[in-house]
């Protein structure tokens, strides 16, 4: 009950200024991490370029579950989600790690049970990645997650706050899967984990695989050798009712499918996280370079 109350209060706080504006308007929601902001602004540019619909982008929403719940309440109409989301018990699924089967279930399940259109993938996967400083990897000969077996109990772990609460692919399930227990586990906002490990405040952190800061801070990614994490292919997700109301939104966003591979997404993220460019500017530049904007 407490979680529901906090969520409701958070929704009220975030969207209280949105109101019920007249005219043709849709709202895009983005999580706190950079790529969702860049993508959110891409959606804005594409829709406003190709239709007469206005787009409002709400950034820095707490997590993917927050974005999803806001879409259920029609507080948001568009967002970016990742195919592994199906394992969070939204509807019946077949247990599988096959990317195509996971995607198929996401598209069918979200349409049938959630009233949402799950587009074909944007072209990259952003999965969880355990990372350590290079000297730590060399000192303990760490190449894969299983190599942590004899040292995890001595290490401090920094993770995305939301990951601790995930039932299927969160910390508890991970610990059982690999038989690992860390000395201390610290929840933190995802953008803080990279600095935390780089400054030796953490021994190991759970990062996002598409984040350019893994390379920037010269971190070593440990192989998920026991295949704990499911596929996390990124897709645009839009309410079915919104597409019925504004069918041109679908055709406006479709050209983005398959255009962003992992290297491209890392490069775009780097422009924001490392070069300190604005996500909106990075989004526009990419769309112009791809010839996806008319003006």
pLDDT band at 133 (very low <50, low <70, confident <90, very high): very high
Instruction: Give dist(CA 39, CA 237) in Å, integer.
Output: 12
Nearest to 39 by CA among 73, 69, 16, 67: 67
Flag the least confident range among 8-17, 75-84, 100-109, 267-276. Answer: 8-17
Q: Is 199 helix (H, G, I), strand (E, B) or coil?
A: coil
Predicted pLDDT of residue 295: 62
∠182-135-133 over CA atoms, to 5°? 60
Q: Cα torsion at 41, 43, 48, 54 (round to 10°)?
A: -80
Tens of pLDDT, residues 62-102: 888 899 999 999 999 999 999 999 998 899 999 999 999 99
Tens of pLDDT, residues 172-225: 999 999 999 999 999 998 889 999 999 999 999 999 999 999 988 999 999 999
Predicted pLDDT of residue 17: 42
In the structure encoding, which two tokens stand for residue 135, read together? 């000297």
Sequence-separated (6 or more) residues with CB below 8 Å from residue 142: 132, 136, 148, 151, 220, 222
Predicted pLDDT of residue 22: 54
From the centroid of its chain, how far is CA 240? 21
pLDDT band at 165 (very low <50, low <70, confident <90, very high): confident
Cβ(209)–Cβ(124) under 8 Å?
Answer: no
pTM of the model: 0.83
Candidate ranges 21-35, 113-127, 210-224; pick with highest mean pLDDT: 113-127
Order of strands across the sheet with 234-239? Answer: 54-61, 25-31, 78-82, 234-239, 116-118
Widest distance between CA atoms in the chain? 61
Average pLDDT, the chain: 91
| DSSP code, position 92 | -
Predicted pLDDT of residue 4: 42
Q: Residues for the chain: how many in total?
A: 295
pLDDT band at 277 (very low <50, low <70, confident <90, very high): very high
In the structure encoding, which two tokens stand for residue 43, read together? 């959606």
Instruction: Give dist(CA 270, CA 265) in Å, integer.
Output: 8
Helices and strands, number each (H, E), in the chain:
13, 10
The full set of domains in the chain, from first to last, is 2-10+26-125+232-289 (3.40.190.10), 128-221 (3.40.190.120)
pLDDT band at 3 (very low <50, low <70, confident <90, very high): very low
Q: Is the pLDDT of residue 246 over 80?
A: yes
Pairing of the two strands 234-239 and 219-221:
unpaired
pLDDT band at 232 (very low <50, low <70, confident <90, very high): very high
Instruction: Specify the higher pLDDT residue, 217 or 252.
Output: 252
Instruction: Give dist(CA 279, CA 35) in Å, integer.
Output: 8
| DSSP code, position 221 | E
Predicted pLDDT of residue 168: 79
Instruction: Give dist(CA 149, CA 146) in Å, integer.
Output: 6
* Bridge partners (DSSP) listed for residue 116: 239
The DSSP code sequence of 47-68 is: HHHHSS-EEEEEEEES-HHHHH
Predicted pLDDT of residue 233: 97
- Taking residues 111-140, what's their average pLDDT? 96
- Taking residues 242-257, what's their average pLDDT? 97
Tens of pLDDT, residues 178-193: 999 999 999 998 889 9
Predicted pLDDT of residue 8: 47
- Taking residues 221-243, what's their average pLDDT? 96
* Bridge partners (DSSP) listed for residue 205: 131, 158
- Taking residues 246-269, what's their average pLDDT? 96
- The helix (H) or strand (E) run that includes residue 172 is helix 171-178
């Amino acid at each position: 009950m407490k979680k529901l109350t906090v969520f409701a209060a958070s929704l009220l706080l975030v969207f209280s200024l949105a109101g019920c504006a007249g005219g043709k308007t849709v709202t895009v929601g983005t999580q706190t991490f950079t790529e969702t902001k860049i993508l959110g602004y891409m959606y804005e540019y594409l829709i406003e370029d190709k239709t007469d619909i206005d787009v409002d982008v709400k950034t820095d929403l707490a997590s993917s579950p927050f974005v999803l719940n806001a879409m259920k309440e029609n507080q948001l109409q568009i967002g970016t989600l990742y195919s592994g989301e199906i394992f969070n018990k939204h509807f019946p699924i077949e247990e599988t790690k096959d990317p195509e089967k996971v995607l198929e279930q996401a598209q069918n399940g979200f349409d049938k049970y959630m009233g949402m259109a799950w587009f074909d993938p944007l072209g990259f996967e952003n999965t969880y990645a355990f990372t350590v400083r290079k000297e730590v990897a060399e000192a303990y000969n760490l190449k894969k997650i299983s190599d942590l077996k004899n040292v995890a109990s001595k290490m401090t772990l920094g993770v995305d706050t939301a990951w601790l609460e995930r039932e299927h692919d969160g910390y508890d399930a991970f610990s059982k899967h690999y038989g690992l227990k860390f000395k201390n586990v610290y929840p933190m906002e995802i953008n803080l984990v990279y600095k935390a490990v780089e400054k030796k405040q953490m021994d190991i952190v759970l990062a996002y695989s598409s984040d350019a800061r893994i390379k920037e801070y010269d971190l070593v990614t440990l192989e998920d050798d026991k295949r704990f994490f499911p596929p996390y292919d990124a897709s645009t997700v839009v309410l079915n009712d919104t597409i019925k109301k504004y069918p041109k939104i679908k055709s406006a966003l479709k050209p983005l499918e398959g255009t962003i591979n992992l290297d491209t997404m890392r490069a775009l993220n780097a422009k924001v996280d490392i070069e300190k460019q604005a996500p909106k500017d990075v989004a526009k530049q990419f769309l112009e370079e791809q010839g996806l904007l008319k003006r």
